[in-house]
Amino acid sequence: MEAAIWTEKYRPQTFSEIKGQQEIVKRTEAFVKQQNMPHLMFAGPAGTGKTTLSLVVAKQMFKDSWRENFLELNASDERGIDVIRVKVKDFARTKAIGNVPFKIIYLDECDALTKEAQQALRRTMENYTQTCRFILSCNYSSKIIDPIQSRCTVFRFKPLAKEDMFYIMDKIAKDESLTIDSKAKEALYEISNGDCRKVENILQSSAAITKKIDENLIFEMASVARPKEVKSVLESCVKKDFVSAKNELLKTMLEYGLSGLDIIKQIQKEIWSLETEDKKKLEMVKECGEAEFRMVEGSDEFIQLEALLSKFVLINS
């Protein structure tokens, strides 16, 4: 099975199938029933249902003619002013096909649009309100200019809750004849941070190897260190054993193929479960932020991680 096919296969087709965003679903469903809606903006983390809800809106509003009346563009690929002036404008200016009030243009990742393209989009939204509605999807609404935000009803999506994630895992396990143990489910939830797409992709990779999925396989497929291994590194720092901490960290990184930025996020999470003073934990988290900034700026990650561990040892001395 090709990568990410499960994401499309398990995409909900009706409002009742969408999990984790009940209030937003209720309000968009009301728009569809009225056969009218304002421009919408869906903001929130990846894998929480923004694209899915847009497709469900189009399918429920336009029924069989939804493909002719729905244009989906990914703004991270096509983000220049020409796309707005040509593709979007050409689609928006023509009347909808069939007995429907307007067309829908869905702009995914619209926070990647240039400022010039956003200014052009603002005029297009204004001029073609009679024939077209826009659904804008973004991770960070702050990157969208205020005139566009004021023309839209903004819905903020949140990461999926544990019970919703478990429901999705159980549904996939049943349909694909998989056995997922409880520890594997917990691991999937922790790794995904409420991102449903990530869960489906990790499960698909795991299912290609075996139908019985356990915690170890999940960590291997996700290229994430087990929390206990990261905690062991930090406990060595608390015991002031720098050499052991350094060796354990290097071994963990090589075993799972982790980058410095991957491991530093896990370190920051595990600091709070250490048995040490709260003041020392705060100092350690502060140092994580400093090390991450240096890595993003291009510093050598191994040198930065060794420096980070040495600071942890000094903090606990």
pLDDT in tens, 150-196: 999 999 999 888 888 899 899 889 888 889 988 889 888 888 888 88
Domain assignment of residue 8, yes or no: no
pLDDT of the residue at 256: 78
More confident residue, 271 or 216: 271
**Structural domain for 185, as ranges:** 162-222
Q: Which of 109, 139, 156 is the last residue of a domain?
A: 156
CB contact at 8 A, 304 and 291: yes
Q: How confident is the model at residue 312 (pLDDT cuts 50, 70, 90)?
A: very high
CB contact at 8 A, 151 and 39: yes
Whole-angstrom distance, CA of residue 104 vs CA of residue 195:
26
> In the predicted model, is pLDDT for residue 136 greater than 70?
yes
> In the predicted model, is pLDDT for residue 71 greater than 70?
yes
Whole-angstrom distance, CA of residue 90 vs CA of residue 104:
13
> In the predicted model, is pLDDT for residue 202 greater than 80?
yes
> In the predicted model, is pLDDT for residue 2 greater than 80?
no
Domain assignment of residue 6, yes or no: no
Among 35-39, 81-85, 170-174, 303-307, the least confident range: 81-85
Provide the CB-side half-sphere exposure for 139 (13 A, CA). 10
Task: Read off the pLDDT of each residue in 86-113 and give the average, rounded to a whole number.
Answer: 83
Regarding whether 295 and 255 lie in a shared domain, the answer is yes
Considering its fold, how many domains does the chain have in total? 3
pLDDT of the residue at 30: 92
Reported pTM? 0.78
CB contact at 8 A, 218 and 189: no
Task: Read off the pLDDT of each residue in 276-296 and give the average, rounded to a whole number.
Answer: 92
> In the predicted model, is pLDDT for residue 93 greater than 50?
yes
pLDDT of the residue at 75: 64
Regarding whether 132 and 30 lie in a shared domain, the answer is yes
CB contact at 8 A, 219 and 183: no
Q: Which of 130, 156, 182 is the last residue of a domain?
A: 156
How confident is the model over 10-53, as pLDDT tens digits?
778 888 888 888 899 999 999 988 888 899 999 988 888 898 99
CB contact at 8 A, 40 and 136: yes
Which CATH number does the domain housing residue 121 bear? 3.40.50.300
pLDDT of the residue at 80: 67
> In the predicted model, is pLDDT for residue 1 greater than 60?
no
Domain assignment of residue 12, yes or no: no
> In the predicted model, is pLDDT for residue 290 greater than 90?
yes
Highest mean pLDDT among 7-16, 214-223, 262-271: 262-271
Domain assignment of residue 40, yes or no: yes
Q: What's the one-letter identity of residue 301?
A: E
